[in-house]
Structure 1
């Protein structure tokens, strides 16, 4: 269910006898006067997420080598100060009934846990790798079994933070840590060196498992935790799928069909993120056809343009009738499958 009430909801309340005629318009005017405009609210929310991503980047994959030279003790102090300060701010804004600001700050705090554990391991002499692998930046770029403690600590910290600040965005750093953990554990399975083919395979299957896990969670929690889980799962699955090379036209066509399937799932679950990734995949396949298969064809760009116009038209149709379309798709599925699917969210 949605927290937003519009004129149609109030009109149905009049028809049901809950409100008297005329009361719906008065109530709607009152609600609009009591709340800020939707554009301002959405802009503020965007600022919250963008600010959190800046913090995550600054203390994560954008951390420069200069920080490695300040010493492990200073690095530990800085990481601890960030985590404590961000957590305190998150709890403060939670008490002030600002759940989004609190949630993104809490997620930023969780994202700095790997840096904290990195410094602790170095100071305590538990660092499992040599000094040439002591650059924290490599945590985000290289698969190594030595990162496992950092990833496990991030998952535990994220779960604990969800108890303090139950906001869905905190799922994102947890999912990323689990993705990294799956890659690093695979090095133990495959051994070293760890090839790109093996990385793609692990990423693809981990992403698929993540999507299935959050499909089970979807609609069964008070907050929409599946939103960010789907994003993390799709990034891993679609990334692994897209980087998998196929020498046959059949394999490339299958790639396109899988992405069309993602677009269908978007309609079924009413989750736009599936549509975004599916559309990127279909666009990549059409780009391949344009540059490789139909490079000498004058007609192909024209046909593709009409397809693009058709897709835009379908998007407009879906925007107006998404409830009917989702219900129509579900009505053609077996009852057991519909029962297993999550309830539709607005």
Structure 2
């Protein structure tokens, strides 16, 4: 009988690559299922059943509609109710959906809608904190009243940071007892907002360059946190998905907003985006490839508009490059498994251990 540790040890030692690790786990799990034996943790962890059908679509759509109704789609009349009413409404929603989600969580068949209900409860935290600040007139301890509650989403203001920090804390607390990957979605949004609002909090440092630099640093920190979550809990579920998304959004946005003079800066920008493409392969995260591709395209647009605007052949050369990239993609798609085995065999042991499985 093999164990989860046996397969992982073989993977870390280089005896098998990641493709063989997944294939072996799937084969052994199916073999044990035919025998009527429960598959050990390795098989279940390595080959999670991911099914997203109409039922799941309805669950997620319903949860997102409720969250949107109490956040970005709140009306002027609703916001005019005042801080006390917002506290009561937020607490009612939080406790109602929290209790509902906790009840659903107890059954494996309804764990997904249970986790979504808990996510709705966490999404009420900004409303509750805003209501407390407004009802007790605590804006004097921030940077003044930032406007109505619905302004939290489109506008940057230093007074929002309490709402953002409370949302992250609430998501972390619920994750501690009810681990559900989608709970990190509101936390990721809150961290993204925080990276912009904290610069305004430090008002005397509020410049475009400062905002861009802070976004880069915050994005890198979020990506590092997502990486750590991957290494710790990837086999149990994709808990880092939203952290990766908001991390690269923050990092890439700050990087793109940098004011570069000359051609060295744009070239470095392009090279960093090429690095994101390689990082996507290493991390097995397509989101980095998406932003890396957009970044490279942005640099090519800069070349067309500024550097080679009077060069007739540039468009034709760029066309050939595009065709070459497509051909490279076709080759990679046909040789994906071989490339993965080569990468696992070529990486030093230290980097192989740091690569999420």
Q: Do Structure 1 and Structure 2 share a fold, with TM-score over 0.5?
A: yes
Say which of 252, 257, 263 aligns to 2:266. Answer: 252
Aligned to 1:299: 313
Equivalent-residue separation in structure 2 for 1:234 and 1:195 (angstroms) = 22
Say which of 206, 211, 220 aligns to 2:232. Answer: 220
Aligned to 2:14: none
Matched, 1:329 2:343: yes
Equivalent-residue separation in structure 2 for 1:306 and 1:49 (angstroms) = 42
Equivalent-residue separation in structure 2 for 1:63 and 1:48 (angstroms) = 21
Matched, 1:114 2:120: no
Aligned to 2:106: 95
User: Alpha carbons of 1:90 and 1:291: their partners in 2 closer, same or farther (altered >3 Å)?
Assistant: farther
Equivalent-residue separation in structure 2 for 1:85 and 1:119 (angstroms) = 18
Contact 2:277-2:288 at 8 Å conserved across structures: yes
Structural mapping, 1:298-317, within 5 Å: 298-317=312-331
Aligned to 2:293: 279
Higher relative contact order (CA 8 A, sep 6+): 2
- State the SS of the aligned residue for 1:324: helix
Contact 2:209-2:259 at 8 Å conserved across structures: no
User: Alpha carbons of 1:272 and 1:178: their partners in 2 closer, same or farther (altered >3 Å)?
Assistant: same
Say which of 92, 97, 111 aligns to 1:81. Answer: 92
Contact 2:129-2:162 at 8 Å conserved across structures: yes
Q: String of CA shifts for 1:251-274, please: whole Å, max 9, x gaps.
A: 111111111111101111211111
Equivalent-residue separation in structure 1 for 2:24 and 2:347 (angstroms) = 29
TM-score (norm 1): 0.79
Matched, 1:136 2:164: no
- State the SS of the aligned residue for 1:98: helix
Contact 1:56-1:108 at 8 Å conserved across structures: yes
Structural mapping, 1:1-346, within 5 Å: 41-96=52-107, 97-128=109-140, 133-188=146-201, 190-192=202-204, 194-221=206-233, 222-339=236-353, 341-344=354-357
Equivalent-residue separation in structure 2 for 1:299 and 1:264 (angstroms) = 29
Equivalent-residue separation in structure 1 for 2:242 and 2:183 (angstroms) = 8
1:42 Cα deviation from its structure 2 partner:
4.3
**Structure 2 alignment gaps of length 5 or more:** 5-22, 36-48
My pick for the range that moved more, 89-98 or 117-126, is 89-98
User: Alpha carbons of 1:46 and 1:298: their partners in 2 closer, same or farther (altered >3 Å)?
Assistant: farther
Equivalent-residue separation in structure 1 for 2:101 and 2:323 (angstroms) = 45
1:212 Cα deviation from its structure 2 partner:
1.4
Equivalent-residue separation in structure 2 for 1:99 and 1:324 (angstroms) = 37
Number of positions where the alignment pairs a residue of Structure 1 with one of Structure 2: 318
1:239 Cα deviation from its structure 2 partner:
0.9
RMSD: 3.3
1:299 Cα deviation from its structure 2 partner:
3.2
Q: String of CA shifts for 1:17-75, please: whole Å, max 9, x gaps.
A: x59xxx89xxxxxxxxxxxxx99834544454444444333322343433221222222
Equivalent-residue separation in structure 2 for 1:174 and 1:73 (angstroms) = 25
User: Alpha carbons of 1:108 and 1:292: their partners in 2 closer, same or farther (altered >3 Å)?
Assistant: farther
Equivalent-residue separation in structure 1 for 2:262 and 2:53 (angstroms) = 45
Contact 2:126-2:164 at 8 Å conserved across structures: yes
User: Alpha carbons of 1:243 and 1:44: their partners in 2 closer, same or farther (altered >3 Å)?
Assistant: farther
1:250 Cα deviation from its structure 2 partner:
1.4
1:241 Cα deviation from its structure 2 partner:
0.7
TM-score (norm 2): 0.77
User: Alpha carbons of 1:271 and 1:291: their partners in 2 closer, same or farther (altered >3 Å)?
Assistant: same
Equivalent-residue separation in structure 1 for 2:279 and 2:343 (angstroms) = 10
